[in-house]
Structure 1
Amino acid sequence: MSLTSTQRRILEDINATRPVSDQEANWAVTAGYAAQAEDGDIDLTQEGRRQVDSSQLQR
């Protein structure tokens, strides 16, 4: 699946620990690109990291 520029930005923001909206976080978790802890912390899954890494190669 190819990500849109907005989706890529969301993953990059999560990876860089920049704030994202609840809606953006929910999208990333639902898509399987991120996991959210009970305390609200969010981090990329292995697939999410792969998407961020591959997007940086395409720039």
Structure 2
Amino acid sequence: MQLTAQQQRILEDIQATRPVAQEDANWAVEAGLAAQGEDGDIDLTQQGRHYVDSSQL
């Protein structure tokens, strides 16, 4: 999957625990790149971390 610059930023924001818009969080969860807990917290999945980590190489 090729991410847009905006999608990449969303993943980076999630990893850095910066607030993201609900629609952005929903996109990441639906794409399987993030998981949202019952308390509303969101974190990257292993696949999501791969995209953030590989962008920093």
TM-score (norm 1): 0.94
Q: Distance in 2 between matches of 1:32 and 1:45?
A: 7
1:56, CA displacement in angstroms? 1.3
Is 1:5 the counterpart of 2:8? The answer is no
| Superimposed CA distance per residue, residues 2-46 of structure 1 (whole angstroms, 9 cap, x where no aligned partner) | 110000000000000000000000000000000000100000000
- Alignment match, 1:25: 25
Specify every segment of 5 or more residues in structure 1 that has no aligned partner in the other structure, as ranges.
none
**Percent identity among equivalent residues?**
74
TM-score (norm 2): 0.97
Matched residue pairs, number? Answer: 57
Structural mapping, 1:34-49, within 5 Å: 34-49=34-49
Q: Distance in 1 between matches of 2:34 and 2:15?
A: 9
Q: CA RMSD in A?
A: 0.4
